[in-house]
Amino acid sequence: MSQAFDVVVIGGGPGGYIAAIRAAQLGFKVACIDEWKNAAGGPAPGGTCTNVGCIPSKALLQSSEHFDHANHHFADHGISATNVKIDIAKMIGRKDAVVKQNNDGILYLFKKNKVTFFHGRGSFVKAVEAGYEIQVTGAKEELITGQQIILATGSNARALPGVPFDEETVLSNDGALRIGAVPKKLVLIGSGVIGLEMGSVWRRLGSDVTILEGLPTFLGAVDEQIAKEAKKAFDKQGMKIELGVKVGDVKTSKKGVSVAYTNAKGEAQSIDADKLIVSIGRVPNTIGLNAEAVGLQLDERGAIVVDAECRTSLKGVWAVGDVVRGPMLAHKAEEEGVAVAERIAGQHGHVNFNTIPWVIYTSPEIAWVGETEQQLKARGAAYKAGTFPFLANGRARALGDTTGMVKFLADAATDEILGVHIVGPMASELIAEAVVAMEFKASAEDIARICHAHPSLSEATKEAALAVDKRTLNF
């Protein structure tokens, strides 16, 4: 007799494990199935985000930033640090330990919330009267049923056509997070989020980094003024970013890799490197779900088709996170997971796509929420803009990091905040205020009238809000 659950979640990444916890909080009998294995073959829930994404990348960004500071910025504070060395094995070991803490944390949360965890692959067998029969294939084979199914099977790195990842020389995000020694020369294809974050890690550690980007514009989804400022900072750091290239043959050898490409002027070029990271986007993952058995509808990209509330084409089957439309972000996956669990419980779960923040954890950090200036122009919106540079912020000066600015975009008539864009120190944390403000439909003046601690970087946010009305106090 198979075990019966009210809710079965397939995938234990941020979309899946959060959905499982929320469903359990709401009183359902919940199972979560996840197949990710740690090095010892044991369970490692948390998905891409925890194992080869958000968490390990931020651990390496932190380590490499310390190294960069010791080499280049300590001296400004009167601290001499000569002959600074990096032990890559230790740095990677620390990153792995951080990952394990997160895996263990999720297993603990499952126990705490009485979520039954299955380590293995979950696949559809058939629809039954009580919902769906799901096969779990892992160390043990089990058959379970779920009245409601939440699919949260995530995404995989997209490879260049004909250039599979070997994770030795041609690396996806997985290999990029466990390079054993600083590559002398590193080439990345794609100057999106992963390209910039991973490029930053290895540049700070000493690699000669070149990023080849297909599009003629740098960070096209980012507000142009912010992207321009960020590009200036990356150029200054020596990260070479070539825009408008067309990548040709990629040849690997014992010595490394050679990438042929045509540059923006149409000239044939080639570049040799020790390692190549391919970061050209990700593809939704439904491998192994046996979606055909139940007739689950996928779109032309392989994403599970869902409506605005994450309902799939099948009754009682929902899908969230990277495997469906929308931005591939951990917090978007989490919000969808919570909303779906609440909808199953008859509540009104809601995800506001207009207030999902984006953060690129480079130095300077880039963060934004809402519309960009180019989007406002494109839709003919009447808007006001206000910017404030960190150069004029006391805390930024004290930190020794005055790159960048905060930019506000507000409706010309109502003053409602339409977008906030930040490039600079701690942009990842500063953006939260803007998200709250936009969620509450605040005006720029609301922020301008709020008391912000002094000295703090958040004063730059207040000043940018004041700038919308052309009345900054410190600039």
Q: Exactly one of 73, 331, 348, 454 is catalytic; which is it?
A: 454
Contact flag: residue 363 with ligand FAD (CB under 6 A): no
Cα torsion at 460, 466, 469, 472 (round to 10°)?
-80
247: partner contacted, choices ligand FAD, ligand NAI, none (Cβ within 5-8 A by kind): ligand NAI
CB count in 10 Å sphere of residue 436: 13
Contact flag: residue 282 with ligand NAI (CB under 6 A): yes
**Closer residue to ligand NAI (CB): 57 or 403:** 57
* CA nearest to 187, candidates 169, 204, 174: 169
Q: Which residues contact 429 (CB under 8 A, 6 or more apart)?
A: none
φ/ψ region of 260 (left if φ > 0, alpha if ψ in -120 to 50, else beta) reads: beta
Q: Applying CB under 6 A, which of residues 197, 229, 335, 342 lies at the interface with ligand NAI? A: 197
195: partner contacted, choices ligand NAI, ligand FAD, none (Cβ within 5-8 A by kind): ligand NAI
Q: How many residues bind ligand NAI (CB under 6 A)?
A: 23
By CB under 6 A, which span of 90-98, 185-193, 287-295, 334-342 interacts with ligand NAI?
185-193
The footprint of ligand NAI on residues 240-279 (CB under 6 A) is 247, 279
Distance CA 306, CA 303 (A): 9
**Closer residue to ligand FAD (CB): 100 or 331:** 331
Cα torsion at 86, 88, 93, 94 (round to 10°)?
40
Q: Which amino acid is at 78?
A: G
103: partner contacted, choices ligand FAD, ligand NAI, none (Cβ within 5-8 A by kind): none
Contact flag: residue 357 with ligand FAD (CB under 6 A): no
Contact flag: residue 213 with ligand FAD (CB under 6 A): no
Burial classification of residue 238, based on how many CB atoms lie within 10 Å of its CB (0-12 exposed, 13-18 middle, 19 or more buried)? exposed
47: partner contacted, choices ligand NAI, ligand FAD, none (Cβ within 5-8 A by kind): ligand FAD
CB count in 10 Å sphere of residue 275: 23
Least separation in angstroms between residue 75's CB and ligand FAD is 30
Whether the Cβ atoms of residue 282 and residue 158 lie closer than 8 Å to each other: yes
Angle at 220 between CA 271 and CA 64, to 5 degrees: 60
* CA nearest to 406, candidates 450, 356, 354, 364: 364
**Closer residue to ligand NAI (CB): 8 or 212:** 212
CA 198 vs. chain centroid, Å, equals: 12
Q: Which residue number is nearest to ligand NAI in terms of Cβ? A: 192
Contact flag: residue 192 with ligand NAI (CB under 6 A): yes
Its sign, for the CA torsion 416, 419, 424, 428, is positive
The footprint of ligand FAD on residues 282-311 (CB under 6 A) is 285, 288-289
Q: What are phi and psi of 107, to 5 degrees?
A: -60, -40
Contacts 24+ apart (CB under 8 A), 462-466: 463/388, 463/392, 463/393, 463/406, 464/386, 464/387, 464/388, 464/405, 464/406, 464/407, 464/408, 464/420, 465/386, 465/408, 465/417, 466/386, 466/388
314: partner contacted, choices ligand FAD, ligand NAI, none (Cβ within 5-8 A by kind): none
Contact flag: residue 14 with ligand NAI (CB under 6 A): no
Contact flag: residue 329 with ligand FAD (CB under 6 A): yes
Kindly write out the interface string for residues 22-51 of this chain, putting x where it contacts ligand FAD by CB under 6 A and - elsewhere.
-----------xxxx----------xxx--
Least separation in angstroms between residue 146's CB and ligand FAD is 13
Does the annotation count 350 as an active-site position?
no
Contact flag: residue 361 with ligand NAI (CB under 6 A): yes
Q: How much helix, strand and coil, in percent to the nearest 5, is found in the chain?
A: 35, 30, 35
The footprint of ligand FAD on residues 105-164 (CB under 6 A) is 121-123, 152-155
CA distances from 254 to 273, 274, 321 (A): 11, 9, 39
**Closer residue to ligand NAI (CB): 93 or 327:** 327
The footprint of ligand FAD on residues 163-182 (CB under 6 A) is 173
Q: Applying CB under 6 A, which of residues 6, 7, 16, 426 lies at the interface with ligand FAD? A: 16
For the annotated catalytic residues, the residue numbers are 454
What is the binding site for ligand FAD (CB under 6 A)? 10-16, 33-36, 47-49, 53-54, 57, 121-123, 152-155, 173, 194, 285, 288-289, 321-323, 328-331, 333
Interface with ligand NAI (CB under 6 A): 189-195, 197, 212-215, 247, 279-282, 327-329, 359-361
